[in-house]
Structure 1
């Protein structure tokens, strides 16, 4: 009987002690997948390079090894302002803190440089369980017109073993339906907006095809003789966008590129309380301008560099 790719269940839970199995369950920790893949053993194989009186290769020794997985989920709120969305656990594996705030009720996600958390991931592949322990990762966010908002996380974890185990029953009712990236559901890219307490003020809104961001975490598996671990050593957040600009706006933004100017960037996806996401970066440098085309219309593309102002503030996601 063939095994089906669609018969995949992923569980994820924040660890109390890094690298120690948090034992996620299908009832509390199931992930609603938009896409998923796994490298079940990413080994640093050791070539024996033997010299023998005949031609031919030798077997390799399996050296230090980690497990990699890429998990993509939809970015939807929990449905209740102040109640954290289920995908928050994945962001916590990426050096991002989850804060539950009031007045108004909301959840905010911002990067951190210490006190980072790790996550246990159980990856059930139609009867085969791969355990990833001490996981950390790099997140990528996509808010493109005509699509759904998504979070994709490239994870590296310690090899927690492989076993033949039946898939658990996965409870996914806490995962909500995201708003589509359409004109009715979005406040488009805004440059110069200020963020405070779950709201944006000011700035100039531009017509765009959406926004893509990446936190740029440098995630590495480090094997040693007495221990092994996964860590985030650094980050450099980047992104890209395409804007529909007037001639005057193009000239103005070209000047900001040449002058190495930074400015805030924001975008709001969703309109309903509990399912609205605000993206805000306080200091964004526009670089690498390019001429783009959409159905015969001129667009101007920019790459983005998101830099911190006071530290650990280069990107903020607020669920309100």
Structure 2
């Protein structure tokens, strides 16, 4: 019987102990996703390279095994200032620390040690995939006339895939309806002191993610991060924004954007030290556009980006 990709479910819960399944529940840990792409079993192989009195393949032996899950999540708040968004565990598994100010805000900032683990459950129309000890990376996309979203890629320890019925009691009530990015819903953005007409802003945390397989231990490992992105705006005059000088001098300039206007559904992305590179022109509806790649540098450390929900 054919499997329906629409009949899918993702659950996620932070692990407190490596190797111990915290058992995510459909009523408390469901993640509202779109564009799911699963690699249920990833493996690396070595050739046997046998010598025999005839030609032909010798076969291969699997040396690693892990699973990978990619999906998008709409970027919105929790509905209540000071309450973490329902997708907060995903950000924590991507190397972010969560800091809560009661009734005010929840902020995610990168860390370089003590990165948390995640338990992921993925149901695909009767097939159950269970990934433990997962970590990942995330990117953000805020584009005019579109729904802002995050793209997650997570890898975790492979468990045997089994047949299982879809859990009941799935609850998505913690996920708020997103707002389209436009002038009304995205009230402010700034590149240094400049605030012109912005088409899009992207941010890729770009964690260097690998599956480590050693004798006695294995797991998802984040060895580094290289946050980068792009801004696309209407081409300003040099008097408004001297971007050639910024590029040539490798000047660090703050970049920020605020999306949402109602407390509980306001998201702020702040990158205090953005370096601008690779300028390019393009045309949009007969209007000249300027694209700039960005690389985000640390200042005191673990401060390249702050993602705040208010």
TM-score between both structures, scaled by the size of structure 1: 0.93
Aligned match of 2:47: 47
Aligned match of 1:309: 299
Aligned match of 1:9: 9
CA-CA distance at 1:61 after TM superposition: 1.9
CA-CA distance at 1:250 after TM superposition: 7.0
User: What SS class does the counterpart of residue 244 from structure 2 fall into?
Assistant: helix
Aligned match of 2:121: 122
CA-CA distance at 1:227 after TM superposition: 1.3
User: What SS class does the counterpart of residue 255 from structure 1 fall into?
Assistant: helix
CA-CA distance at 1:251 after TM superposition: 6.2
CA distance in 2, matches of 1:164, 1:312: 42
The 5-angstrom pairing of residues 165-314 of structure 1 reads 165-169=164-168, 170-192=170-192, 203-249=193-239, 252-314=242-304
Pairwise CA RMSD: 1.4
8 A contact 1:78–1:176 mirrored in 2: yes
Aligned match of 1:21: 21
CA-CA distance at 1:310 after TM superposition: 0.9
8 A contact 1:71–1:152 mirrored in 2: yes
User: What SS class does the counterpart of residue 27 from structure 1 fall into?
Assistant: coil
Cα distance, 1:176–1:247 mapped onto 2, change above 3 Å: same
8 A contact 2:194–2:241 mirrored in 1: no
* Range 58-67 or range 108-117, more displaced: 58-67
8 A contact 2:187–2:261 mirrored in 1: no
Aligned match of 1:200: none
8 A contact 1:188–1:210 mirrored in 2: no
User: What SS class does the counterpart of residue 184 from structure 2 fall into?
Assistant: helix
Deviations for 1:291-315, whole angstroms, at most 9, x for unmatched residues? 1211221111100011111111100
Deviations for 1:222-244, whole angstroms, at most 9, x for unmatched residues? 10121111111111100001121
Aligned match of 1:141: 140
- Return 5+ residue gaps in structure 1 as ranges: 193-202
User: What SS class does the counterpart of residue 205 from structure 1 fall into?
Assistant: coil
CA distance in 2, matches of 1:140, 1:88: 14
8 A contact 1:75–1:87 mirrored in 2: no
Aligned match of 1:199: none
- Return 5+ residue gaps in structure 2 as ranges: none
8 A contact 2:142–2:148 mirrored in 1: yes
- Stretches of 4+ aligned residues off by more than 4 angstroms: none
Cα distance, 1:228–1:248 mapped onto 2, change above 3 Å: same
8 A contact 1:45–1:64 mirrored in 2: yes
Aligned match of 1:106: 105
Cα distance, 1:244–1:34 mapped onto 2, change above 3 Å: same
CA-CA distance at 1:90 after TM superposition: 0.6
Aligned length: 309
Aligned match of 1:195: none
CA distance in 2, matches of 1:211, 1:55: 55
CA-CA distance at 1:54 after TM superposition: 3.1
